[in-house]
Amino acid sequence: MNAFYGGGSLGGAAASSNNEFDFDPSLDPELAMAIRASAEEARAREESRVLSTLSSILFHFSYLISLLFCFLGTRRIKTKRKWKC
C-alpha cells in the first residue's frame, strides 16, 4: 500500500487527513497545492456557470412578465394604466 491509501511507513492514522483525495499533503506539498488550486478553479467555474444561468432565467422571466402585462393591458377595455410594450 502507498501513502495515498493510508498504508506504507506512515500507518493509517498519520496519513488520514481532511482532504477529499485521502492522502497526506505533507508528503508532496506541491501536489497538494496544485490539487487545491484546481479544486478552487473548478468551484469558481461552477459558481460562474450557476450565476450565469440564474441571470438568464431572471432575464427571461422578467421579459415574459412584461409580455403578460402588455397582453393584459391590450385586452382590458377600461383600464387606468396602460403598459408600454
pLDDT tens column, 34-51:
999 999 999 999 999 999
53 within some domain: yes
**Domain assignment present for 32:** yes
Asked whether residue 80 is domain-assigned, the answer is no
pLDDT confidence band for 85 (50 / 70 / 90) = low
Q: Is residue 68 part of a domain?
A: yes
Q: Residue 15 has what pLDDT?
A: 45
Q: In which residue are the cell numbers 456557470 written?
A: 49
Burial of 8 (0-12, 13-18, 19+ CB in 10 A): middle
Residue written as grid cell 459558481: 47
**Both ends of the chain: CA-CA distance in Å?**
70
Distances (CA, A) of 67 to 15, 21, 64, 74: 60, 50, 5, 11
Range(s) of the domain holding residue 13: 3-75
Q: Does any domain span residue 29?
A: yes
Average pLDDT along the chain: 76
Q: How far apart are CA 11 and CA 62, in angstroms?
A: 59
**Residue 58: what pLDDT?**
94
Percent of the chain exceeding pLDDT 70 equals 61
The total number of structural domains that make up the chain:
1
The predicted model scores a pTM of 0.52
